[in-house]
Amino acid sequence: MDDNDASVVGALLAKEITDPEASQPPDWDADEDGEWAAPVIEHPTLKSLSSLSSSVYGYRYAYTTAPEVLEKLKSKAGGLYLFKSPRFVSKEHGDRPRERFPSDTLTENAVSNWLSSKAQPLVGMYSSSTKDRYKGPVLVIFMNLDFDANSKGVTYVLKRARKAAVALKGKLSIAVASVSDMSYELSDFGLTSKSEKSDMLMGISAGGQYYGAAEGTAFSAKALTAFADAFLAGELTPYEKPPYEPPAGDDGEGESEANYDDDVGDD
């Protein structure tokens, strides 16, 4: 579970159980038919979890029936658990590493809403699979998010981001993103990466609009707070992408004939 994203784990006492709704047929004859036994069915939680993994996208799913794992989870009756990414969890700032779904009935809407509201720690990962979990404005710090090669840089950013996030809770969320993995999305904020190893760029996503920190803004706790405060005060103007202009020789409907011939050739 040591991953950048949360893990959804079904804890089961067994993969199969005796069907609790089965009953002996009224015409069952023990002498002729033998001793009746209720049929065995797939555990309902496992069946629901399999269905959820196909319909509630963007999460990492697993299940376990191993007694030693159940003991580690302190799960005597089983259940559905959400484990936040240990790379981002900060107990010091109030993050709960583990959440348990409050019901044994796993409906798609209920579990989806639960995951969306619980999966992200105070400062979590902003990616193509997690960005929709942020329902309100979110300030994103794009950086070299390599926990091995850039551990000092990640620690530096997370420490300052968490402190600011505590003060902004309920107004603005804060998250971090990999500048290399999200390079395509940078243009939405009007941001440009010059170095994937050293860049620390800031942008805000809010209701389909995007705001980028001024070019040349060096990341710091002070700069982060000032950027957030300016947004909350309504002082920022959302970035608007310039209209698309097709390359010379392109009619706007694809490759020009000359380029097509050059690239493809007669064969």
The C-alpha angle with vertex 257 and arms to 256 and 260, in degrees rounded to 5, equals 85
Report yes or no on 127 lying in a domain: yes
pLDDT for the residue numbered 265: 60
pLDDT for the residue numbered 36: 82
Report yes or no on 217 lying in a domain: yes
Report yes or no on 126 lying in a domain: yes
**CA-CA distances (angstroms) from residue 149 to 107, 154, 248?**
41, 10, 42
**Which residue ranges in the chain fall short of pLDDT 50?**
none
- Report the distance separating Cα 179 and Cα 192, nearest Å: 10
Report yes or no on 256 lying in a domain: no
- Report the distance separating Cα 202 and Cα 216, nearest Å: 11
| Segments forming the whole domain that contains residue 113 | 1-15+39-121
Q: What is the pTM of this model?
A: 0.81
- Burial status of residue 33 (CB atoms within 10 A of its CB: 0-12, 13-18, 19 or more): exposed
Q: What is the DSSP secondary-structure string of 116-128?
A: HHHSS-SEEE-ST
**115 in Cβ contact with 55 (< 8 Å):** no
pLDDT for the residue numbered 185: 92
pLDDT for the residue numbered 257: 52
Residue where the block lists tokens 């936040």: 84
Report yes or no on 31 lying in a domain: no
Could you say which DSSP state residue 58 is in? S
Q: 233 and 127 share a domain? A: yes
pLDDT for the residue numbered 198: 93
3-state secondary structure of 135: coil
pLDDT for the residue numbered 34: 83
How many other β-carbons are positioned within 10 Å of the β-carbon of residue 24? 11
pLDDT for the residue numbered 130: 93
Q: 72 and 148 share a domain? A: no
Could you say which DSSP state residue 247 is in? P
Q: 152 and 96 share a domain? A: no
